[in-house]
Amino acid sequence: MNGLGNEIVVVDLRATPSPIAAAEARAAARQEPYDQLMALYPVRSGADAAVRIYNNDGSEAGACGNGMRCIAALLAAETGKAKLVFETAAGTIPCWRAGEAAFTVDMGPPRFRWDQIPLAQEFADTRRIELEIGPRGAPVLHSPSVVSMGNPHAIFWVDDPSAYDLQKIGPMLEHHPMFPERANITVAATPTREHVVIRTWERGAGLTKACGSAACAAAVAAARLRRTGRKVTVTLPGGDLAIEWRGDDDHVLMTGPVEYEREGRFDAALLAGAGAAS
């Protein structure tokens, strides 16, 4: 499936729950290249499923907004429900139908404290932190906003997001010592008070057409800096997402499309070999 041009693989392990090793996630990405793999597991609570999220490098992610819309679409078709609830490492995430092929994901409240993001050193104000890359006195990027949407994000404000080589800059910043758990790196612009434009290097996945949590993080960071209001359209290389940072409960809502691509099976020998290697 895809949430906005980014590749999402969904594996349903509710009937035969078993853990996925990092090596197996990497092997799956070699057969079926993906941005995130969403593994569905059974739950005993009132949620519809538990979800574990893997990046294509085998690491686990706490949140994936575009992937959540994909699994919401699958389970809505299966159950007939218009609203579903999922358990994730980032907490309980509700999703509901917002149109014929669109879903809204309640991403919960953003986190701003330096040790919640987390950062390697304390900053009293995370709307902008002291961090730059490039020559001293003439940095290529500097002073990012930082926020957690269940995963760490750094947003660098620029005039033109397309002017930056994220394929080169992204890995350096993802692994910067400032981010002990690595970070999603976004370059963002605010052409109007209702519009944010972004490109993202995604932690553990690389350059992506769409990162839903990055869209949420950029929208929240823009509102904190008074660049925009609390309800915006975020344009990514894959298309547009509607983001609202609600004032009454501080939750961030993301609405966007879902597209089903195809169904298949992973090569058992490939995964068995990866499991043995891990």
Q: Which of the residues are catalytic?
A: 64, 211
Cα separation, 34 vs 276, in Å, equals 22
Cα separation, 107 vs 123, in Å, equals 24
Q: Which residues pair with 253 in a beta bridge?
A: 106, 244
Tokens, residue 238: 């894959």
Beta 83-88 vs 8-12: how paired, if at all? Answer: unpaired
Say which residues have a Cβ less than 8 Å from residue 271's Cβ, sequence separation at least 6: 24, 27, 28
Say which residues have a Cβ less than 8 Å from residue 216's Cβ, sequence separation at least 6: 65, 107, 110, 149, 243, 252, 254
Say which residues have a Cβ less than 8 Å from residue 226's Cβ, sequence separation at least 6: none
